Structure 1
């Protein structure tokens, strides 16, 4: 089976609607897809409806959707993301908690805009809000808005000059702790997975500390396969997974079609780790066995 447990729609910083994301996943022959928008589960129901529409009468669905979310946390001045997989999207406590995260995002967006205005970059918030549409407003929307307003040449430049840590319009987020995020996910019936650990701008010493604390806080698993991961870093993540008895996950972290990242591509886990889905029941497998 082709399994991808990390993807985004336009309900956070992805560019595709849930329906468009589903169509692309089907085209890429993905069997299981987790939709993990930042701090929101708003796209899950639409995605599942899109799968139903694409399923022929009397046939099992070609794609199974895992209800997920990517929760933002703060840890020693690092922004660390925790995936919640198989969360209950009808859990009212969980929805209220995610709403708190959304409020923090909105407050941060206002502060970012104030700093941009002081730096002489005007009108960015309105444009960023339009780009975000129904979704959560993120720094990615600010970067895209600045490109459209010709304030910078590309999104990377927006982060390097204004939005990145220590830059003129950077605002330190007030996210929850790793422990809180894990608790939220567990309370909603899900599994907590450390997202893209190979992407954090930290030394190996700090990465080891992060994984150790995540495991100590009863985190369930870690992405050991994700995009733009070197063989050396991948082996380190595999070793850390086994060292701390964590389950292994893999995900493309897909946001939009590009030449570097694709749904379901090159995500096979090595045989010497235990997949996070090892005790899941898949509808396709049930249909084939019946």
Structure 2
């Protein structure tokens, strides 16, 4: 395996906040030329056996995956885990604990939206939830689009679901150390997801990478759906500086919402160590 592999190691199914089943995602990935795939549902590993079986049926290699929400420097940061044992009890328990606050948070979000005249948002969001434990802002956004409060999900987030807007309720997630430990103790490797999205200061970002590395973190998403070409270069340099492997993933959620389709990103810069080389013994072969 090399950098010039069509690997897509970040996407979401109906098990969290995507709109396609693991089987539909596998078929879409294969149709787009993906050679190595991972399903990384938010704080959830319940779709892993389905995804691995679907990858095999499509003739694609597979890595187990999840995306864990953590709180760092007052912000929500996402840590992708790859190549772990999907039946690891401690990982499953940790993810269940971090999911636990979502229902209460969703009720608070609905109450705030009701105060600005948007009623029935909790019930409306539930219609879009494949897994009620994982109700999220994305599900509220789909309800507000369906009811024509907003034109699209981007407008919903801009007007209602970001900090300082009605409908925004912060959630206290796991710590960075928790997430990295759960992943590594389950036999996997931890990866910082889409680092350009966090809008940290330079000092905060350096602290994130330093603490992540100190906890045993192993990789960073360099080429991802939310990074620009310039950001590929920035985070390739960060991977070099911190001795991290590089990952690649579209962060695909839905054919109607995602900017970047499965398997359509540029390749990783050639000088980097791809995370899949570090995880070669955990890749489930295509056949």
- Please say which of residues 205-214 and 172-181 is displaced more in the overlay: 205-214
Distance 2:167 2:255 in 1: 28
Contact 1:41 1:69 in 2 (8 A): yes
Equivalent runs, 1:127-276 vs 2, <5 Å: 127-134=124-131, 136-257=134-255, 260-276=259-275
Equivalent runs, 1:69-148 vs 2, <5 Å: 69-134=66-131, 136-148=134-146
Q: Secondary structure at the match of 2:190?
A: strand
- Please say which of residues 138-147 and 150-159 is displaced more in the overlay: 150-159
Change (3 A) 1:78 1:283: closer
Distance 1:53 1:232 in 2: 37
Distance 1:266 1:169 in 2: 33
Q: Secondary structure at the match of 2:11?
A: coil
Distance 2:19 2:141 in 1: 14
Change (3 A) 1:229 1:53: closer
Give the TM-score of the pair, scaled to structure 2.
0.91
Give 1:52 shift.
4.4
Give 1:203 shift.
3.5
Q: Calculate the aligned-residue CA RMSD, in Å.
A: 1.9
Runs of 4+ in structure 1 deviating by more than 6 angstroms, as ranges, are none
Q: Secondary structure at the match of 2:268?
A: coil
Q: Which has the larger radius of gyration?
A: 1
Which structure carries more relative contact order (alpha carbon 8 Å, separation 6+)?
Answer: 2
Q: Secondary structure at the match of 1:72?
A: strand
Unmatched segments (≥5 aa) in structure 2: none
Unmatched segments (≥5 aa) in structure 1: 55-61
Matched, 1:21 2:32: no
